[in-house]
Structure 1
Amino acid sequence: MAEKEIRSEEQLGVKWDQCIYDTLVKTGTGLGLGVVFSVFLFKRRTWPVAFGTGVGVGIGYANCQHEFKDPFSLRGKLVKVMPKEE
């Protein structure tokens, strides 16, 4: 069977889905760590929560920018070439 070709619209949709998911995960993680640090280390102040959330959003945004600006990145594994024995 022939391989199914993926349209560019579908590729773009997949990138957006990954981007949104990644940003939400990083924002939630930053929020959670901010709450933990706020409760246990900083006497229930609000700045660790805001800082953690902002860092999560910033990292997610930077990852999205990288994903959309580098569309043709090839991911592969390193293959060692062995010399011929005569």
Structure 2
Amino acid sequence: MLTSTLLAATFATTPLQWSPVVGIIMILSNIAAIAFGKSTIKYQSVGPELPSPNLFGGLGLPALLATTAFGHVIGTGIILGLHNLGRL
């Protein structure tokens, strides 16, 4: 019974289509997360270095992966929130 209720609630929503606005929101969220990580991570360049370190502000690979993962979480929240509000 619970499964059928969850399936009914899941399939009743309209799917979110990709658009350039969605891409721009995700890119801006990742840039903001990298800037936030650059100012707050204590050991930024620990671990393997990236091929072009000044492109990402001198962050090492672990710090870059952490900040972009955080940026995707933020971007997903913004995109889903705007979609639920009907703005996207």
Give the TM-score taking structure 1 as reference length. Answer: 0.40
Q: Which structure would you say has the larger Rg?
A: 1
